[in-house]
């Protein structure tokens, strides 16, 4: 069997439902931004208090959930493929949609936003003529809601050595032992600390920006990179996943009061 014909593991229904739910909440979240009272590009004069509080609760875990699920999906997509075949698959599934969105979806959205805020008064053609003068915010174009795709693509290749090690024989053995120890000792409650470290130590740094409009600050790469690895680790360890499921209601209470 050639490398290109190596079968990819079957899809996991639990991941599909989590992804569907997470992106569904993402749509509801952004639709509600107009009535949140927050500083958004297009906001209504009417604010809905209960909607804002619900969005504040979602804001704590909506994007972390998406990146955790994406980390598990990376391991499924990697399977037993070669690095070359996996890279082509990621380019096909992430880079091409991102490029399409940056050409056909983001410019009209940016144009309408600039019109609404009174920052631009010309035609769409005039806007496009100036749009690519620089990356956002110096110019008029940035990745908008496609930033997730840019992050996922960049982090997948940055962390590819980790994913390759996890699928190796030694990586699988250590992964199994580590997941078992964590599940039996409750060490999963320490998993938020690296995330807190990324926010507390990297976010306040004056050098937290990497200078590129499509990726964003370095602390974002660190924060979401950890979540991507968590997804690969959690969903690859049945014992740890079972322990997390068992504590899901306690976890909900903890995140609600913190």
Q: List, in order, residues 6 or more apart from 127 with CB less than 8 Å away.
A: 107, 110, 111, 114, 120, 140
DSSP state of 59: T
Q: For residues 72 and 15, what is the distance between their CA atoms, to the nearest angstrom?
A: 8
Per-residue pLDDT 10s for the chain (258 aa) are 444 444 445 578 888 898 898 888 888 888 888 888 887 777 777 888 888 888 888 888 888 999 999 999 999 999 989 999 999 999 999 999 999 998 888 888 888 888 888 888 888 888 887 776 655 445 556 777 888 898 999 999 999 999 999 999 999 999 999 999 999 999 999 999 999 888 888 765 555 444 345 556 677 888 999 999 999 999 999 999 999 999 888 888 887 776
Q: For residues 152 and 221, what is the distance between their CA atoms, to the nearest angstrom?
A: 9
Q: What is the reported pTM?
A: 0.83
Beta-carbon neighbour count of residue 187 at 10 Å? 13
């Amino acid at each position: 069997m050639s490398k290109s014909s190596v079968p990819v593991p079957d899809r996991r229904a639990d991941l599909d439902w989590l992804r569907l739910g997470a992106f569904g909440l993402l749509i509801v979240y952004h639709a509600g931004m107009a009535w949140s009272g927050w500083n958004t590009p297009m906001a209504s004069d009417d604010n809905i208090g209960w909607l804002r509080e619900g969005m504040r609760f979602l804001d704590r875990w909506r994007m972390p959930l998406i990146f955790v699920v994406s980390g598990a999906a990376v391991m499924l997509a990697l399977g037993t493929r070669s690095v070359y075949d996996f890279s082509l698959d990621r380019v096909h599934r992430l880079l091409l949609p991102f490029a399409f969105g940056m050409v056909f979806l983001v410019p009209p959205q940016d144009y309408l936003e600039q019109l609404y805020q009174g920052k631009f008064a010309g035609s769409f053609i005039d806007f496009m003529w100036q749009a690519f003068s620089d990356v956002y915010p110096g110019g008029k174009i940035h990745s908008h809601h496609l930033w997730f795709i840019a992050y996922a693509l960049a982090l997948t290749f940055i962390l590819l050595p980790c994913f390759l090690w996890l699928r190796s024989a030694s990586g699988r053995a250590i992964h199994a032992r580590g997941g078992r120890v964590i599940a039996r000792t409750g060490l999963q409650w320490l998993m938020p600390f690296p995330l807190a470290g990324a926010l507390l130590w990297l976010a306040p740094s004056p050098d937290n920006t990497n200078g590129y409009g499509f990726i964003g600050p370095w602390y974002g790469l660190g924060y979401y990179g950890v979540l991507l690895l968590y997804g690969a680790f959690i969903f690859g360890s049945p014992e740890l996943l079972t322990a997390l499921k068992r504590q899901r209601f306690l976890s909900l209470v903890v995140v609600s009061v913190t």
